[in-house]
Every structure is written in structure tokens, then in C-alpha cells.
Amino acid sequence: MIVSSRFMRQEEIEARALATLKGYEERFGQIQAPPVPIESLVEKYLDLWIEWGAIEDDAREPILARIYPSGRIFMNENRREHFEEYWGSEQFTLAHEVGHWDLHVHHGAVHQLTLPEMDPAPVFICRWNKRDRIEWQANRYASFLLMPDNLVRKVVSGLDLTRWPVLYDVRDCFGVSITALKIRLEEMGLIHIDEAGSIYRSEQEYAGQRVLL
């Protein structure tokens, strides 16, 4: 059995991501400021390798990457324009694959697969908008890995997060997409964004504003 798809609480996923970061820091030194060096973490700490090549897909369901059970992350060369257009998507995709590796791959079974050319079909094919359980889990893992609580709070301390230019500056610091950053800040209770794109300091502030209206 190589794949695990059991239910996991968000707290467990965060703890696993933070354990990975801690292991990296114990070997290579503490990460003092963002961005998290995801490529170094992938290749030097986890001993996974990154390759680029063509993956056949279509416009309805683009495939950004896939991961093989031997630890090979295969990035889709055909989606280079996507990675270039959407800031942070390449880093997030790599972190997403790390999530699969940590959460879903049975490493005891993987140890029997030693050569890339011996890989069977990929365990995970990571599409742009796939929303099943393991994809959600890998996305949450990627968010915690790239935007750990301590670094986020350190960077945003004293900033006015109700201003979009400030959010884009924070996005640039972490090397993630603005969508990923918004989700992370909202789940941390640091902002709330309404459907019109107005930013509030909290969901409670937004609720109070709604009452006044």
C-alpha cells in the first residue's frame, strides 16, 4: 500500500508541515524570514528530485505536476506560462507535492522503488482545480509549509492589512499567490474580505459593519 487517504484534522496537517520545517532548520539553520526555501527543502532535506517535462492535459483540467512513488516531482513544462502568470504557483505546487509525499505516500513501500525509470504510474496527478480529500490536504499542508504561523505574524506585525498594496507586499515576501495569502490570513483571524473585496481587520469587525448598514 503506497497511498494513504485517511481523514486528517487540519491541526494534524499543520503539525506535520511544521515538523518538516523543524527538521530542515535543524540541519540547515533557522529560517529567519520568508520565503521558505522550498526547492532546497525538497532536494537537500527530503532527497526528492525535481524534473520538468511535458504532461499531456487539456484546457478544461490543466495538470501542473505529478509525483512518482520513488520521490520524483515532475513539473509540467506545458504549463510554464501558468507558473509565470500566476505569482507563487510554482512554489505552491512544489509544496503541494511535499504534502503528498509526507501525508499520503507509504515510505516503507517506496523504499522498494529505487530507480526513476522503474516508476509505475504516478501516485498523484495534481490538477489545477481538483478538490478531493487528498488534494485538499496537500493544499493545506502547502499553506502551512510556506506560511508558518510564526513567520506570518512576524512579517505582518504593525502592518495595515486592510490595504491591498500591503497584502501584495506580504505576498511578495512569502513568494505565494495573493489567493493563498488571503486564505491563510483569514484562517489566522488577521483579516476578513467580503464579496466586494473590502478588507476588515476581523470577521467580527465585518459583522459589526454589516449591522451598521
pLDDT tens track for 34-72: 999 999 999 999 999 999 999 988 777 788 999 988 889
Q: How confident is the model at residue 25 (pLDDT cuts 50, 70, 90)?
A: very high
pLDDT of residue 64: 92
The average confidence (pLDDT) of the chain is 88
Mean pLDDT within 197-205: 93
The pTM for the full model equals 0.87
Per-residue pLDDT for 126 more than 80? Answer: no
How many H helices and E strands in the chain?
Answer: 10, 6
**CA angle centred on 77, ends 72 and 79, rounded to 5°:** 115
Domains and CATH numbers, the chain: 1-146 (no CATH), 147-213 (1.10.10)
Q: How confident is the model at residue 120 (pLDDT cuts 50, 70, 90)?
A: low
Mean pLDDT within 7-23: 95
List Cα–Cα distances, 169 to 26, 79, 144, 193, 205, in angstroms. Answer: 29, 25, 19, 17, 23
Name, of 65-79, 92-106, 157-171, the range with top average pLDDT: 157-171
β-pair partners for 65: 75, 126
Per-residue pLDDT for 115 more than 50? Answer: no
Question: If we measure between CA atoms, which residue out of 191, 155, 154, 186 comes closest to residue 170?
Answer: 155
